[in-house]
Amino acid sequence: MLGIVTCLRARALAQNWDLHVWLLQRTLKSMLAQTNNEFRVFVSCHDIPDLPETAHPKVHFLPLDIPLPQRNLDDMCVDKVLKLTAGTDLAIAEGCDYVMFADGDDLISRHVSELVATNRGKSGWYATVEYFHRYGGNWLRKYTLPVWQSGPSIIVRSDLLRFELDSRYRGERVNTLAAW
């Protein structure tokens, strides 16, 4: 089963909370449109938004009691890693043998869970291109990623994830990809 893990910025740090919630709702709708039913969605957050998707049986909101990050890029990245790690822990505990990481404003293909279900045993997948769209606009921009970089939508077999204590992340346990 595929566990799709994402996170939501804290309400106290969002310049426009309603926009973040709207983007997350669109993301959740794209995730819930999967053609294969073998998936679950895990959203780590400080604050659970008021959305119909919070009651969906495939969506699990995980409110975390961790310190709010400072308003700087480094601490915001630490917050994101801690949230994704907590979501990954829950996905694995719920029996997900693959984990996909996605940003809270990403739209994903409805065929992702089908890809995973029909290719069991593979180490995972990553995208070599990303598409950017501005809501309300009439265009998509294709961006080819450098060979050393992957976008946020990466799928990894959960037994290839490693969890270690890391001083860079407030001394918390964080997930890392095994480099085999």
What is the distance between the alpha carbons of residues 49 and 65, in angstroms, rounded to a whole number?
16
What is the distance between the alpha carbons of residues 18 and 141, in angstroms, rounded to a whole number?
25
Q: Is the pTM of this model over 0.85?
A: yes
State the Rg of the chain over Cα.
16
pLDDT for residue 26: 95
pLDDT for residue 153: 73
What is the distance between the alpha carbons of residues 117 and 121, in angstroms, rounded to a whole number?
10
In tens, the pLDDT along 120-177 reads 999 999 888 888 888 888 888 888 877 766 666 789 999 988 888 888 788 777 776 5
In tens, the pLDDT along 36-92 reads 999 999 999 999 999 999 999 999 999 999 999 998 888 898 899 899 999 999 999
Backbone angles phi, psi at 164, to 5 degrees: -140, 155
Neighbours of 160 (CB within 10 A): 14
In tens, the pLDDT along 158-168 reads 998 888 888 87
